[in-house]
């Protein structure tokens, strides 16, 4: 029997080994959000994953005290510049007093990194092959949510018509939503 993990980072390392890269974002109010990077798959199926660890130290507003969250983003090609924006999503609940959930939109205060027009994330449930949750040794139940980088028009579209409608419109338009370096394209309902 495997001993339960004390942190999401420990769980990820048990599952995928040591991360290729790690960034740590420490705040004055005592939070430490880590962004860990792995590459999974091969060839055309290769994706770079950025996963948070430390968000689960933040109480989710309006939820059971033991319910927590962590976020991940998958992209191809890799985009290390996005790490700080992922950490900011992790801090959103602590700073705003509001919870993020699947099928919601997160708007950044500026571009996700210098030189991009991407301005936020669509928050989604993980795809079928991804883990959706885990329980830590202390009993916290951690929900994993997927982040998809989005342009302002895409965030507006999702806010108006819903995240599922955005994803369907992106599919019809041939948008490679996993490509953080993609260009915006017009979307229709």
CB-CB contact of 140 with 66 (8 Å):
yes
pLDDT at 45: 85
Give the pLDDT confidence of 61-118 residue by residue, as tens digits. Answer: 999 999 999 999 999 999 999 999 999 999 999 999 999 999 999 999 999 999 999 9
- What own/partner pairs with CB < 8 Å and gap ≥ 24 does 55-63 have? 55/90, 55/91, 56/7, 56/8, 56/136, 56/140, 56/142, 57/31, 57/32, 58/31, 58/90, 58/91, 58/93, 58/94, 59/93, 60/93, 60/99, 61/93, 61/97, 61/98, 61/99, 62/99, 63/99
CB-CB contact of 33 with 45 (8 Å):
no
pLDDT at 2: 81
Which SS3 state, helix, strand or coil, does residue 69 take? strand
Backbone angles phi, psi at 86, to 5 degrees: -65, -40
Rounded to whole angstroms, the Cα distance separating 129 from 98 reads 28
Number of residues assigned to the chain? 189
Rounded to whole angstroms, the Cα distance separating 72 from 43 reads 21
pLDDT at 152: 97
The structure tokens listed for 84 are: 């700080």
Q: Other C-beta atoms within 10 Å of 148: how many?
A: 22
Residue with tokens 């880590």: 34
User: How many Å is the Cα radius of gyration of the chain?
Assistant: 16
Percent of the chain surpassing pLDDT 90:
88
Rounded to whole angstroms, the Cα distance separating 122 from 139 reads 28
Is the pLDDT score of 175 beyond 80?
yes
pLDDT at 92: 94
Give the pLDDT confidence of 36-59 residue by residue, as tens digits. Answer: 999 988 888 899 999 999 999 999
The structure tokens listed for 80 are: 């290390």
| pLDDT band at 1; cut points 50, 70, 90 | low
What is the overall mean pLDDT for the chain? 94
């Amino acid at each position: 029997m495997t001993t339960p993990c004390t942190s999401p980072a420990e769980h990820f390392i048990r599952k995928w080994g040591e991360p290729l890269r790690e960034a740590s974002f420490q705040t004055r109010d005592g939070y430490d959000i880590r962004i860990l990077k792995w590459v999974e798959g091969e060839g055309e199926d290769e994706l770079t994953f950025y996963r948070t660890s430390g968000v689960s130290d933040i109480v989710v507003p309006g939820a059971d005290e033991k319910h927590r969250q962590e976020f991940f983003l998958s992209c191809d090609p890799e985009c290390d510049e996005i790490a700080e924006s992922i950490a900011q999503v992790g801090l959103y609940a602590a700073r705003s007093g509001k919870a993020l959930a699947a099928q919601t939109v997160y708007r950044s205060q500026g571009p996700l990194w210098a030189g991009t027009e991407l301005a936020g994330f669509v928050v989604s449930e993980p795809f079928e092959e991804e883990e959706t949750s885990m329980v830590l040794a202390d009993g916290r139940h951690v929900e994993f949510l997927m982040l998809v980088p989005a342009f302002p028009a895409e965030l507006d579209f999702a806010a108006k018509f819903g995240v599922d409608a955005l994803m369907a419109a992106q599919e019809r338009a041939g948008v490679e939503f996993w490509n953080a370096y993609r260009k915006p394209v017009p979307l229709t309902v």
